[in-house]
Amino acid sequence: MAFWHLFAAFFNLRLVLVTILSFIVAYIFIVKFRRPSNIPPGPWCFPLLGYLPNIAVYSRFYGLPLPAVLLQLSKKYGCVFSLYLGDQLCVVLNSQEAVKEAFMNPKLNDRPTATHFQNDEATGIVNASGPNWKAQRAFTLGVFRRFGVGKAVFETQICSELEILFKHFEDQNGASFDPSSLILNTISNITSLDTVAHRYEYGDKEFKNLLHVEDRIVKLAGTAGFKNIVKILRLLPSKANEILAKTKNEFMAIVNGNIMRRKNKFDSGTIECLIDVYLKKLYEKENLSEYINDESVGRTVASLFMAGTDTSSYQILWVLVYLLRHPKIFKKVQDEIDDTVGRDRLPTMDDQCDLPFTQAVINECMRLCATVPMGVMHAAAEDATLLDIPYQRERCSWLIYGVFIMIQIRGHIQISLIRVGFWTTMDIW
């Protein structure tokens, strides 16, 4: 009889403990995932996973990517709303007015807190925040202005590389071919010349490895980056982060090799790239910010490769796709260029005012397909107010920028980033 009393007491104790534990877990979930009263409204979200299950359903069964889902939510909750992505509370800005005010507010220009596989990049211009970011931005923009970015000097360098690209096109002798790798090579070479004054031949093994490693980083970042959103997944065994870190180290080794090669050839009388400017300032003991050092400059060069090559090359490819799908438009562009510029030289920025139709087509292609539809995540440096809505740094992890619209093109739905009011005939290409 005593045995049965002990048995019943044991299970009653287990029941009590399970009940208490369940209440504790439920309380933590309620406190952690309860939407603060002074945060913009938004949809109900699952504990731990946030709105991700809903996004997965929209993607799997309705073919809607994240930008389209955010657009639908904005119609219900307004141009500024909030939602959880994993356990990260995000504020989404979905109007021109909100995005403009946020960009003009210095309190909202930080980057999200570095994650477990991004800590080593906190010195790069993309992931840096505060005074660190300001110093690197000022240094980088100063270098580009010195080399005439947006001016004729820089344009000549681009045209020289384009001549080589067109020669490769001509070598195809009219046969069908995939231009993506050639365009990527061209953009990468322009970036390389501006940063380390080195140009690769298209068949160079190191060049091919550089582009291959860069492509792997982009693909791996999506898998490993998911753990930044759903932090509980970090407890699960995975080699994604390990592989990503190894790949990024391989990429940095190539970049640092180029930097070292430039250092060995450095001549203070010949300044040709970003590294030259840095070395000149360093050797002449000019006042450099404490944030400008070998590591930060190396990370900036890597960031320029990563951020500039893929986006520019994909945008050019989309322009080609739209022109090929609209041959009448293609012919009008070619006719305008032939009549204005001719075929003896390449168009320049000086010709822009005389090529209104060509400029309109380029703008329209950029409207129809944004290569980075949500930009780079932002975060608050401190508590701020946005459109009279308080934004608390400790509660909101990310700021997501974007104005999204769905466009139907020959049966294919494209998601594009536009600024409201810039185009009035959004349904016409």
Type of residue found at 145: R
- On the question of pLDDT at 301 being above 80, the answer is yes
DSSP states of 94-129: -SHHHHHHHHH-GGG-BPPPP-TTTGGGTTSTTT--
Using CA atoms, how far apart are residues 426 and 72, in angstroms rounded to an integer?
17
- So what's the pLDDT on residue 7? 46
**Confidence bin at 326 (pLDDT 50/70/90):** very high
Using CA atoms, how far apart are residues 363 and 358, in angstroms rounded to an integer?
9
Convert the pLDDT of each residue in 219-240 to its tens digit.
777 666 666 666 666 666 667 7
Using CA atoms, how far apart are residues 159 and 163, in angstroms rounded to an integer?
6
CB neighbourhood size of 130 (10 A): 13
User: Which residue has 């809607």 as its token pair?
Assistant: 64
Average per-residue pLDDT in the chain? 76
In the chain the domains, ranked by start, together with CATH numbers, are 113-317 (1.10.630.10)
Question: Mean pLDDT lowest for which of 55-59, 116-120, 163-167?
Answer: 116-120
What the block records as the tokens of 351 is 């010709």
CB neighbourhood size of 358 (10 A): 20
- So what's the pLDDT on residue 408? 29
**Confidence bin at 428 (pLDDT 50/70/90):** very low
Using CA atoms, how far apart are residues 309 and 253, in angstroms rounded to an integer?
18
Cα atoms in the Cβ-side hemisphere of radius 13 Å centred on 81: 21
pTM: 0.77
Using CA atoms, how far apart are residues 92 and 88, in angstroms rounded to an integer?
12
Convert the pLDDT of each residue in 30-73 to its tens digit.
555 566 667 788 888 887 778 888 888 888 888 887 777 887 88
- So what's the pLDDT on residue 333? 94
Closest by CA position to 28, among listed 228, 232, 229: 232
Compute the CA torsion angle 23, 29, 34, 36 (nearest 10 deg): 110
In this prediction, residues 344-350 reach a mean pLDDT of 87
- On the question of pLDDT at 261 being above 80, the answer is yes
Asked if 373 contacts 67 with a C-beta cutoff of 8 angstroms, the reply is yes
Determine which helix (DSSP H) or strand (DSSP E) holds 385, and give its type and residue range: strand 384-386
- On the question of pLDDT at 365 being above 70, the answer is yes
- So what's the pLDDT on residue 42? 86
Asked if 77 contacts 41 with a C-beta cutoff of 8 angstroms, the reply is yes
11 or 348, which is more confident: 348
Express the helix, strand and coil content of the chain in percent, nearest 5 each. 60, 10, 30
In this prediction, residues 382-396 reach a mean pLDDT of 71
Residue 83 CA to chain centroid, in angstroms?
20
- On the question of pLDDT at 319 being above 50, the answer is yes
122 or 320, which is more confident: 320
What the block records as the tokens of 23 is 């209440």
Using CA atoms, how far apart are residues 367 and 422, in angstroms rounded to an integer?
10
**Confidence bin at 377 (pLDDT 50/70/90):** confident
**Confidence bin at 275 (pLDDT 50/70/90):** confident
CA gyration radius, the chain: 26
- So what's the pLDDT on residue 6? 47
Task: Report the percentage of the chain scoring pLDDT > 70.
Answer: 73
What the block records as the tokens of 383 is 């508590």
- On the question of pLDDT at 390 being above 80, the answer is no
**Confidence bin at 88 (pLDDT 50/70/90):** confident
- So what's the pLDDT on residue 396? 63
Closest by CA position to 296, among listed 142, 149, 135: 135
- So what's the pLDDT on residue 337? 94
- On the question of pLDDT at 426 being above 50, the answer is no
Type of residue found at 46: F
